[in-house]
Amino acid sequence: MKRLAYLTAAILVLAGVFLRAWGLFTDLWIDEILSISMARNATSAINLATVYKFQHDNNHILNSVFVYFIDPFARDHLVLYRMFAFACGLLALPLAWSLGRRYGERSAILAVVFIATWYQFAHFSSEARGYAPMLTFVLLAWWSLERFVERGRWYDALIFVAASMLGFLSHFTFIFASAGLGFLSLKGGWRKALALNLIPLAFIYMVYDEFIRIMRPGRGPRIGILGAVYQYSDQTLGVIAIPIIALCVIGVIRYLKYDGWVLAAIIVSIVIVSLLRDMTYVYGRYFIAFTPFLLILMARWMATWTSRDAVIAVIALWVAGQVSMAIPFLQYGRGPYREVIAYMTGGTVASEYPEDFHDRTVLAFYRANFSRKQPDFLVSAVFADMPRELDRYGAHYVYDRKFPFQGFSGTPWHIWRRQDTFSTTPPTTTAAAADGAADRD
């Protein structure tokens, strides 16, 4: 039975590695393209973090610096843009094992299985943005912190400080993990905690003052803070199940005592930031720094369960939820942008409405034959149902087909084909109407 458990765990971990590797070869989507464009327009790596035009929430600084240096080699090999995130996604696995190992071998197995099969992490591990590095630095900071509290070695403290600073440069939502790590550091006494966190906190304030305070958000759908909480639950478990997460938090706190209260500390920090910051554009992924703590603490708690069937049931439900999200990703990726461009080969193409920044940016990146003079095709990445016929650019267009996408990051693509010359009939839709439909979706 023990051998079967090891074999099952190994298969699940390998499946997580496969998903990370497979995602590397899916098409780049708009947020990755924007990050690459910022890096290409920078005059230096330092320039990315200090010039106002790059103070945008798609500039995940550490990833942007990597893209800046890899860009000369990656233009003809797009997969290279994602290698930093991929390497971080792999490094997270031994860190998860080590963090779980503190509570025994069973805890280590559960921890690495949870982190390996966590679809959201696997997804971001194949995406040229800062979420995967941020999550890995969360694990590294936690790992070094526990070692420092136990042994008091200076190099563990140095690793913690470096991981905290790099985590914040990877993505600013590391701030939520910092609250939890700061709480855990108090186990070594308030003097050690203060000394350990002084440099990271000063660094965080410096980056906030220089960058985040005047950072410009992107313009995605407005879902609000409650919508973001629902989205977090859905993207973590594969279904909106906030009560399940709440029960897990309560169970962890009740059994693990002080270590478990780190989850409450992170939740409080999220609430405080939500009250202090404008949360018009907030999404479930902004809370993912909470998830590594939840999963690994769950592994530590589950390692003490006497019921093997209960452990198997939890793992089965968790994996089923992750598979439900992974299957569409394996089918469609983040959107078949190159397939769309190939489908329109030989014809000219333009956005469904001229003001659309998204469509024009993606079309330019993939070198589509763009033209606004009666183009042969129109495209749109709007999520809502689209009209069957359109009048644009002096010509009449009929809806041709839709290219689906995974639904986590990326977009669908709608295509219209030109049929005849311009009609005096008023357009079926307008840019404003389409934009409104996107916001409601």
The residue among 219, 237, 298, 236 whose CA lies nearest residue 263 is: 298
The pTM for the full model equals: 0.90
For the CA atoms of 176, 120, 286, 240, the dihedral, rounded to the nearest 10 degrees, stands at: -100
Task: Give the model's pLDDT for residue 352.
Answer: 87
Task: Give the model's pLDDT for residue 229.
Answer: 92
183 and 261 in contact (C-beta within 8 Å)? yes
Query: Does 312 share its domain with 223?
Result: yes
Query: Does 198 share its domain with 328?
Result: yes
The three-state (H, E, C) secondary structure of 374-403, written as one string: CCCEEEECCCCCCCCEEEECCEEEEEEEEE
Q: How many domains does the chain have?
A: 2
Residue type, 56: H
34 and 56 in contact (C-beta within 8 Å)? yes
At 133, list the tokens.
Answer: 């590095």
> In 10 A of CB 28, how many CB atoms?
24
For 92, the domain range is 2-332
Query: Does 151 share its domain with 116?
Result: yes
Task: Give the model's pLDDT for residue 3.
Answer: 83
Query: Does 207 share its domain with 250?
Result: yes
Query: Does 256 share its domain with 373?
Result: no
Q: In the β-sheet with 377-380, what is the strand arrangement from edge to edge? A: 349-351, 377-380, 413-421, 395-403, 389-392
60 and 129 in contact (C-beta within 8 Å)? yes
For the CA atoms of 48, 53, 54, 57, the dihedral, rounded to the nearest 10 degrees, stands at: 160
Handedness of CA 311, 9, 318, 302 (dihedral sign): positive
At 342, list the tokens.
Answer: 């190939």
**Distance (Å, whole) CA 435 – CA 386:** 11
Q: Is 239 helix (H, G, I), strand (E, B) or coil?
A: coil
Where a domain ends, among 287, 313, 332?
Answer: 332
At 10, list the tokens.
Answer: 């190994």
Where a domain ends, among 303, 332, 361?
Answer: 332
Query: Does 93 share its domain with 128?
Result: yes
Residue type, 128: A
Q: Is 414 helix (H, G, I), strand (E, B) or coil?
A: strand
Task: Give the model's pLDDT for residue 132.
Answer: 97
At 420, list the tokens.
Answer: 């005849």
Task: Give the model's pLDDT for residue 298.
Answer: 97
Query: Does 402 share its domain with 313?
Result: no
**Distance (Å, whole) CA 169 – CA 292:** 18
Query: Does 291 share its domain with 431?
Result: no
* Cα separation values, 101 from 110, 111, 250, 303, 318, Å: 10, 8, 22, 10, 21
Query: Does 266 share its domain with 370?
Result: no
Query: Does 254 share its domain with 118?
Result: yes
Q: Is 142 helix (H, G, I), strand (E, B) or coil?
A: helix
Query: Does 352 share its domain with 217?
Result: no
Query: Does 114 share its domain with 163?
Result: yes
Average pLDDT per run of 10 along the chain, which is 441 residues long? 84 96 94 90 80 76 93 93 97 97 94 97 96 98 94 92 96 94 91 90 87 71 84 92 94 94 95 80 90 97 94 96 94 89 90 82 90 91 84 91 86 89 41 36 34
Where a domain ends, among 332, 350, 376?
Answer: 332
